[in-house]
Amino acid sequence: MKVLFQSRKTLYSVPGGDTTQITKTKEYLEKLGVEVDVSLELNPDVSRYDIVHVFNLMRPQELYLQVKNAKKYGKKVALSTIYGPYEEYEKKARGGILQVLNNLLSITQIEYLKVIARAVLNFEFNKGTVIYLLNGHKRLQRKIIKMVDVFLPNSDSEMLRVAKDFKLKNYNYVAVANAVDVNKFDYERVEISPELEKYRDCVLCVSRIEGRKNQLNIIRACKGLPYKFVFIGKAGANFRKYYEACKAEANDHTFFLGQIEHEKLPQFYKLAKVHILASWMETPGLSSLEAGIMHTNVVVTKKGDTEDYFKKFAFYCEPDDLLSIKDAVVKAFNSSFDNNFLERIRDNYKWEDTARQTFQGYQSIIRVSYGKQSLLR
């Protein structure tokens, strides 16, 4: 089986969670005997592939061209949806004129304006931008969905969200778990460098620093607590002022370490008492899985698909409720780690599991003539 992964042009120059997802899924699919290439082009020659696997329904202007190109060659299309609208954040917490606009306009209208802004300010302009402007956000997403042969969401609840937003009744999907590298994040084998000992028993947050990730509310909620707080990650695009606001609000036992080498992350997870992602949306948050496998209690948002993954083992909070965030951090800090959480991650969220589920999705569209599955299967 030959598969082509297609993704955004900035996949490697501006790495994110999708970079890890694509890199590790490729690695473990190849261990199953699948030949996988990666292309960041919009219209490559895909004639030699059985399946074109594309990513991220939230960026339809590039995705549409990639999917249409695949269909021009008569290829089956698999879509990792990565579908997590931040509508609540945009309306409640964005701030400034953008928050005002988000409360006056629909989310699709706002996304339309964002594409125009990126084209003008960041020179992000291609043929897909023109098609996007002619069709609009939601209409272009619908056109993409009609060409997809199998959906590969990160959870059943993510698929439910896609089905609800686009009024889908019959479709083919396989839930493909996000995952953690259990060989790299091996608690017993990770050794702590002496210079990092000062961060032991901290509350850790590993994420881009930006409004959607909600670090400012974490700082405001917890600034009276006696714990050390460590933030790892650089400011997201256009969030430099937000980063500065976080630093201005923080107390003297809060540390901003910026972007660090991924190879050092296991040490920080092992040192931490708690890891927190109080975001406005998570599907479910790769760093939470990494923290859990390193025996660290996890505080996560209730928004998104976190409960699908973490069940009773996480400490949940509401992103706009400072007391909720504080209470979850205190409870997590004072609780012993539940080894059943460790077993849940090992049993369900390894990259081997991700590859196996992805392969199952592929098989549904090229080995058998499938009957499209209902949501309530």
Burial of 280 (0-12, 13-18, 19+ CB in 10 A): buried
pLDDT value of residue 120 = 66
pLDDT value of residue 376 = 29
Chain region(s) in the chain for CATH 3.40.50.2000:
2-83+136-179+350-366, 194-348
pLDDT more than 90, % of the chain? 74
Inform me whether the pLDDT recorded for 105 exceeds 70.
no
| Record: fold of 194-348 | Rossmann fold (3.40.50)
Alpha-carbon distance of 52 to 70, in angstroms, equals: 6
> pLDDT category, 305, cuts 50, 70, 90?
very high
| 362: CB partners within 8 A, 6+ apart | 1, 3, 34, 50, 51, 78, 150
pLDDT value of residue 10 = 81
Q: Which residue has the higher pLDDT, 304 or 86?
A: 304
What is the reported pTM? 0.85
* Residue 327, both tokens: 């209470």
Mean pLDDT computed over 253-274: 95
Mean pLDDT computed over 165-185: 95
Mean pLDDT computed over 113-128: 67
Mean pLDDT computed over 15-36: 92
pLDDT value of residue 284 = 86
Alpha-carbon distance of 185 to 78, in angstroms, equals: 29
Inform me whether the pLDDT recorded for 168 exceeds 80.
yes
At 307 the three-state DSSP class reads helix
CA distances from 356 to 49, 52, 303 (A): 19, 17, 27
pLDDT value of residue 329 = 98
* Residue 336, both tokens: 């012993």
Q: Which residue has the higher pLDDT, 92 or 343?
A: 343
Element (H, E) at 327: helix 322-333
Q: Which residue has the higher pLDDT, 121 or 145?
A: 145
Inform me whether the pLDDT recorded for 246 exceeds 50.
yes
> pLDDT category, 2, cuts 50, 70, 90?
very high
Lowest average pLDDT, out of 20-24, 107-111, 122-126, 328-332, goes to: 122-126
Indicate the residue type of 119.
A
At 49 the three-state DSSP class reads coil
Q: Which residue has the higher pLDDT, 216 or 371?
A: 216
> pLDDT category, 119, cuts 50, 70, 90?
low
Q: What pLDDT, in 10s, does the model give residues 215-245?
A: 999 999 999 999 999 999 998 777 899 999 9
pLDDT value of residue 110 = 66
Q: Domain spanning 2-83+136-179+350-366 has what CATH number?
A: 3.40.50.2000
